[in-house]
Chains A and B, each alone.
Chain A
Amino acid sequence: ELKVEQNPLFLSMQEGKNYTIYCNYSTTSDRLYWYRQDPGKSLESLFVLLSNGAVKQEGRLMASLDTKARLSTLHITAAVHDLSATYFCAVVLYSGGGADGLTFGKGTHLIIQP
């Protein structure tokens, strides 16, 4: 069974600070996704990481993937209040028929205070 673990699950930080969210997964997978969810809203795709060593950046967010360590990180640089949200990582689930849906971590609830 594929397990996806995020930490921390809750994070309160001040504007201007840097921090990293970690995503570990239990079985081999070569694709990892990061999503953002605002309260009561849908999930918005942030990054798609398709290979070992992949690094993607968008604004103050940067995501990386190490498939050998089964680890992805989401780094926040100089946080601003608008980045307050819940962030999910998701890993491709492989079944007998090949690649299937995504297994999500429990999410990191991020609060950025002025």
Chain B
Amino acid sequence: DSGVTQTPKHLITATGQRVTLRCSPRSGDLSVYWYQQSLDQGLQFLIHYYNGEERAKGNILERFSAQQFPDLHSELNLSSLELGDSALYFCASSVSPGGGELFFGEGSRLTVL
């Protein structure tokens, strides 16, 4: 158990809908990263927050957004969902603001029908 908690574990929804994925980092970790894993694209970095502030953006679509709250949990919002958004979404946390070892949650598997 990495100490990173993600909910929900599984989510099935329809195209055009909006979902929110939640992540609680390890105790003491200030950095939260979101990654998308799909068969064709592999593990893609989406976005990084450190202590409530956005630090870096990766290949995150404009339909997706995220935030990190004062209690350090983070939410990833996915809107206007398309079939291609079906993937496993991982949250990872780290104690450092960048370059440190990442500890991954169990992931949220999103299926868009």
Chain A bound to chain B:
yes
Indicate whether A100 sits within 8 Å of B42 (C-beta atoms), given known contacts A42-B107, A92-B99. Answer: no
B58 touches which of A90, A101, A105 (Cβ 8 Å): A101
Q: How many residues of A contact B (CB 8 A)?
A: 26
B106 touches A42 (CB 8 A): yes
Q: Given A93-B45, A100-B56, check contact A43 B90 (CB 8 Å).
A: yes
Q: How far is the CB of A33 from chain B (nearest CB, A)?
A: 6
User: Which residues in A have their C-beta under 8 angstroms from that of B101?
Assistant: 33, 45, 48
Query: B56 touches which one: A33, A42, A97 (CB < 8 A)?
Result: A97
At the interface, is chain A mostly helix, strand, loop or mixed? strand
Measured between beta carbons, the chain A residues less than 8 angstroms from B17 are none
Asked if B56 and A95 sit within 8 Å, CB to CB, the answer is yes
Whether B90 lies near A102 (C-beta < 8 A) is no
User: Which of chain A's residues have a CB closer than 8 A to the CB of B45?
Assistant: 93, 101-104
B74 to chain A, nearest CB (A): 14
Q: Which bucket holds chain B's interface residue count?
A: 20 to 34
Asked if B99 and A97 make an inter-chain contact with CB atoms under 8 angstroms apart, the answer reads no
A68 contacts B by Cβ under 8 Å = no
Q: List B61-113 residues whose CB lies under 8 Å from chain A.
A: 90, 92, 96-107
Residues on the B chain within 8 Å of A102, using CB: 33, 45, 102
| Cα A103 to Cα B102 with chains together (Å) | 11
Taking a contact as CB atoms under 8 Å apart, the answer to whether A99 and B107 are in contact is no
Contact mask for chain B residues 24-43; partner A; CB cutoff 8 A; 1 contact, 0 none: 00000000010100000011
**Which residue among B45, B56, B99, B100 has the maximum number of chain A CB atoms within 10 Å of its CB?**
B99
**B48 within 8 Å of A (CB atoms):** yes
Other 19 A-B pairs with CB < 8 A, given A44-B104, A93-B45: A31-B99, A33-B101, A35-B104, A42-B106, A42-B107, A43-B92, A43-B104, A90-B102, A92-B99, A93-B56, A97-B55, A99-B96, A100-B99, A101-B33, A101-B48, A101-B98, A104-B43, A105-B42, A107-B42
